[in-house]
Chain A
Amino acid sequence: MTVGLPLFLAISAILFSIGLVGVLLRRSPLTILLSLEVMLNSVNLTLVAFSREVGGSDGQIFALIVMGIAAAEVVVGLGLVVAMTRREMVLDTDELRTLNG
């Protein structure tokens, strides 16, 4: 295995920050949810990479759990988007600002 751990971690960090940029800049709730998925995946990569480095299966299992939870989170998130659509709310996070101050 010639590729070192830092490279995996670096790729993961880059993916993480790309996902973060998405959360920070996009206004469509769906895209934000997608960006969050990118971030989750990057974290998974870190977990698995460290798992490989440590040599135990803990990290992989955590990654699996994160995946499961990501699924649940997507259900809730998408459910929210659907509910918002049905309330005829504008699907623009910049317009979701009745709560402020």
Chain B
Amino acid sequence: MIQGPSVDWFAIAPEVALIVGAFVLLLAAAFARGHERALSLILGLGTLIVSVGFSVAAWGDAPVVTMADAFRVDDLTELVRITVAALAALVLLLSVGWNRLREQGSEFTALLLLTCAGMGVVAGSTSFVTLFVGLELFSLSLYVLVAFDGKSRASLEASFKYLVLGTLGSIVLVYGAAFLYGATGSFMYDGIAASLAEGGSGEAVVTLGTALVLVGLLFKVGVMPFHMWVPDVYEGAPTQITGFMAGATKLVAFVALARILLDALPAVEHLWSPVLIIVAIVTIIGGNIAALVQTNVKRMIAWSSVGAAGYALIGIIVHGDLGLRGLVFYLATYAFTAFGAFAVIALFERDQSRAKGYATLDGMRAWGFSRPFAGMAMVVFLLAFAGFPPTAGFIGKFVISGAAVTNDYVYLAVVGVIGSVIGLAYYLRVIVALYDRSRKSDVGLPATPGLGGASLAILLCLAVVLLGGILPSLGLDWAGQAASFLTVAK
């Protein structure tokens, strides 16, 4: 009889809850065909609340490593779990008026829950194997979610591109992991780190493995030159999923990147650090100048999220206490900022359902007057992207810049500044379009389905963004606490 590993059920309860929830939801939906939407919302939100509840309950506890050392639950994991689940809840809120929720709501919600579970697994991964399965769980779910917009062919196109490129990325990651395994004999981060620390960090195989792993992770993070999928997928996906990806995927991928680089590969920092520096510079500038020439707002923000990823890289490059805290704070608040922005776009698309729903600059003209709250919220989100006070984006950029300038990475901070300036130029184009008085706004918009849910979602994001900017102390403390687990191997 094989003795299974000890399992700390409380530690993995959030994921278990999500998976069980997804299962129950699908089963229940099979018996209650007519109530797809209500069922999805109630069970989906319920599951997420339970999951978040478990995470919150474990917040601040000492880190737990369970399932044969394959999974690590510390505050960073918890933070990711909470953020991701919160975003998923917002996705559900935003989808209230979506007709696909009526048709295949249970599948949608179940996939969403599974995505969250996969992200939790990634966040807590301690080995490439765990990382890979978690990554694939949420990636594969996301491929489907991206394709979920029944009407739009763009949705399928985006999904297919995402699938092909995403699989390519995963393959490269595994390939790299294989080489690292060959060089060190382990898939575990601590095993790799220990082996490299003893020597062998100069071997070409290690270099090769590091390079391939880096590519795989940078691909998921979506930085240049591995960003090609980002704009297309973000544009084609149902907008709430775009928001979810921009927020959650980025956060999770960065946490995975940080864990691998700092836990498994600290010995080869001389290899990955210059790569990240170059990539960060190229990404910040490239992402922003590409966004500058966009006319579709959804795509513009997709590009801007590429640039933002470059900015977050600075946090990893610096990776002091300040840098990592800034990274976590920046990413966590960025998640809500990005989701908020895409939520506003989603609302706009629903307002314009006849006109193919494209959120072009021209199409958005004067819309801010018809939906004053959403318009103003959009302004705040855009300013948060740009790092203006008093938004959370300001604090995040401030801390990361502070980390950079105090650690002899002034040039990175300056590049960030240049990127922000370019960024402002196009964010302002959106604002100008939203409040373009030269066009008559149609003040009496028809009642849009799900307006309440969408407004609530936007409001919640707005609250996070503003609170994170005006009273950031608490958030910074949380981020600091979570980030303190990033350098555990050192």
Contacts and interface: CB of A to CB of B under 8 A. Distances in A.
A contacting B, Cβ–Cβ less than 8 Å: yes
Contacts of A69: 132-133, 136, 140
Among B156, B171, B293, the most chain A Cβ lie within 10 Å of the Cβ of B171
Contacts of A97: 157
Contact of A59 (B153, B181, B236): B181
Contact of B182 (A50, A79, A101): A50
B153 A98 contact: yes
A43 B185 contact: no
A18 interface: no
Interface residues of A, number: 42
Q: Which of A33, A51, A99 has the most CB of B within 10 A?
A: A99
Nearest to A16: B175
A65 B147 contact: no
B284 interface: no
Contacts of B235: 99
Which bracket fits the contact residues of B? Answer: 35 or more
Given A46-B178, A73-B140, A99 B236 contact: yes
A6 B167 CA distance: 26
A29 B144 CA distance: 16
Nearest to A100: B232
Q: Which of A16, A36, A56, A69 has the most CB of B within 10 A?
A: A69
A61 B181 CA distance: 12
B333 to A, nearest CB: 28
A54 interface: yes
A33 B161 CA distance: 11
Given A36-B164, A40-B171, A80-B147, A58 B181 contact: yes
B227 interface: no
Contacts of B405: none
The residue among B128, B232, B293 with the most chain A CB atoms within 10 A of its own CB is B232
Interface in A51-92: 51, 53-54, 56, 58-59, 61-62, 65-66, 69, 72-73, 76-77, 79-81, 83-84, 87, 89
A59 to B, nearest CB: 6
Chain B: interface secondary structure? helix
Nearest to A97: B157
Contacts of B147: 80, 83
A27 B431 CA distance: 40
Nearest to B236: A99
Contact of B136 (A32, A43, A72): A72
A73 B178 contact: no
A93 to B, nearest CB: 8
Contacts of A87: 153, 156
A36 B185 CA distance: 26
A69 B135 CA distance: 11
Contacts of B91: none
B179 interface: yes
A73 B136 contact: yes
Contacts of B182: 46, 49-50, 53-54
B60 to A, nearest CB: 33
Interface in B94-119: none
Interface string A17-32: 0000001000001001
Given A89-B156, A96-B161, A39 B171 contact: yes
A49 to B, nearest CB: 8
A58 B171 CA distance: 17
B158 to A, nearest CB: 6
Interface string B373-416: 00000000000000000000000000000000000000000000
Interface in B142-189: 143-144, 147, 153-154, 156-161, 163-164, 167-168, 171, 174-175, 177-179, 181-182, 185-187
A96 B157 contact: yes
Contact of A80 (B132, B136, B163, B186): B163
Contact of B159 (A32, A72, A80): A80
B129 interface: yes
A50 B171 contact: no
Given A43-B171, A62-B177, A99 B163 contact: no
B178 A77 contact: no
B299 interface: yes
Given A61-B129, A62-B177, A65-B129, A80 B143 contact: yes
Contacts of A99: 154, 157-158, 161, 231-232, 235-236
Interface centre among B143, B160, B175, B185, by most A CB within 10 Å? B160
B231 A101 contact: yes
Nearest to B133: A65
Nearest to B299: A101
Given A93-B160, A99-B157, A99-B232, 6 more contacts: A32-B164, A58-B129, A65-B132, A65-B133, A98-B154, A101-B299
17 contacts: A36-B171, A47-B178, A47-B181, A49-B182, A59-B181, A61-B129, A62-B128, A62-B178, A69-B140, A72-B136, A73-B140, A80-B156, A80-B163, A83-B147, A84-B153, A96-B157, A99-B236
